[in-house]
Chain A
């Protein structure tokens, strides 16, 4: 990473109307080691087709797959003071911001969009991990608040896609203050009686998980995502013990009751749409298949196939939610 790759090349590409071509046309699956053609991964929403490994996905690409016909409108983010601390670590923070803006073509780590999900108007608030690790600072905080305000204005649900290492240290205490500030926004949405769905993606940690990302009406996690408060390294150093297998993964959190479900990326659209129709008492869409096809397979077989639920085989039928 240097000035050329971060700044000059994207600018050149922009000028020439060229898309940033992947440096390597073949992607190696981090889980299975399989080599997969880039376009196959891209078409599959950056999920490796065979292994089901969920790669990181940019906010904009995610929205293209999420909204009806890939159509959405991006909201303008509010302006905030930049670098009030005049912060400098190994680099000046203002330079870091400039580089990230050039590299990602984004203003900061949060994008809000509006559009239709299976015909229903929704606001989505997304972290883009490529912008300083999706970190939460003043710009992101105000953008999140704007997302919630927009949902309240439009009287529609808000869906958050979280992907963040946590608070942005370069903004010091002002980044910590985004925890209560964004929580005010969540409260306002709830008081307006509107649903708030949180999708926890890889990773969601630190101050983001310790505020708005853990206050959803429903928590949906993408498979394999790391979700937690403290970083694994910090915990290991504190307790001087090895961490259990799968610690802080989506599946681990499901087991411990911190998320409602683990849902693969391709299933997010129908799952969230179904939930929102239930919450808002909306009728079934005319074009949809029969409701029984659309509903979740709640049999233990399906459960164990997805999550290797060790307790699944010992569960009796009485554990199942009532059907019909």
Chain B
């Protein structure tokens, strides 16, 4: 079952018709020749998909980025890494499932992995707290980065969160401080950090693990200082204006590349990452491999300096 977004209605209708026809032709073999009709509809549906996805608005991109069937952190871990060995806990308070961490091999090379995970059904969404991490999630990330640094292993982070969790306990345990320390740790490492925003890059909750030597975004991912809904309720006092804020705030991968905030865009298959997960994984793997290659043989001080200079240059190079 594909779940369609509101603006995908024309595609949903066509694909529904195709499905119906296929059912009929399967039941009554040879009775009616549906092949031509199916081919015609498939062509139309394909055209509609091309047409819609060629000019997605920022708000539509936000919906694609949050699509329930979009591949999440764990999908990437499964597809891109071998020997994945999850490590849990911040050694301080608890284990936060909103951020999955561990060590694994990427194309045979040992690396650290830090991935935000939203969950993909009610049960797992609750387990992963919809990808909204608490302080212990960021403190666990710090712990993993320290380990990676000690053993000289690159860090790969996969960013996908609507933001850090706003709760009483999270505040009491120092959400702000935990995010600040995680960003600080990213900046301190002698090993390369490669980040990919695979869905939503939600503000401080994202930057805490995305202060990387190389930052990439998926074609339809978004990355912003505040969610369009929250931005609308503050700037317009009307969360229904989220669509306008999404446009005004420039949250798409294409915008961020133009502002030189990110280093590159990973192409998604037509109709979004969820329509062909394998294709996305191939692209993501290529991207990570190339990025890692750039840092081969470089010494720690140089890697650290590159990361700092890159961030200091943001905004000065416009």
Contact = CB atoms under 8 A, between A and B. Distances in A.
A180 B313 CA distance: 11
Interface centre among A87, A206, A207, A256 (most CB of B within 10 A): A207
A229 B207 contact: no
Nearest to A257: B174
Interface residues on A, range: 35 or more
Interface in B231-250: 231, 234-236, 245, 248-250
Interface residues of B, number: 51
A81 B106 CA distance: 40
Given A172-B249, A176-B203, A179-B207, A145 B312 contact: yes
A106 interface: no
A229 B204 contact: yes
Contact of B166 (A85, A167, A230, A247): A230
B248 A89 contact: yes
A235 interface: yes
B217 to A, nearest CB: 11
Contact of B176 (A85, A90, A214, A238): A214
A85 B184 contact: no
Contact of B230 (A175, A212, A234, A257): A234
B70 to A, nearest CB: 21
Contacts of B164: 210, 229-230
Given A184-B312, A229-B204, A239 B168 contact: yes
A36 interface: no
A186 interface: yes
Nearest to B202: A176
Interface in B245-282: 245, 248-251, 255-256, 259, 261
B249 A215 contact: no
Interface stretch (B38-46, B143-151, B220-228, B288-296): B220-228
Contacts of A90: 235-236
Contacts of B250: 85, 172-173
A143 to B, nearest CB: 12
Contact of A207 (B171, B186, B204): B204
A229 B172 CA distance: 10
A324 to B, nearest CB: 32
Interface string B81-99: 0000000000000000000
B106 to A, nearest CB: 24
Interface of A: 80-81, 84-85, 87-90, 138, 141-142, 145, 167, 169-177, 179-181, 183-184, 186-187, 205-207, 209-215, 227-231, 234-235, 238-239, 241, 243-244, 247-248, 252, 256-258
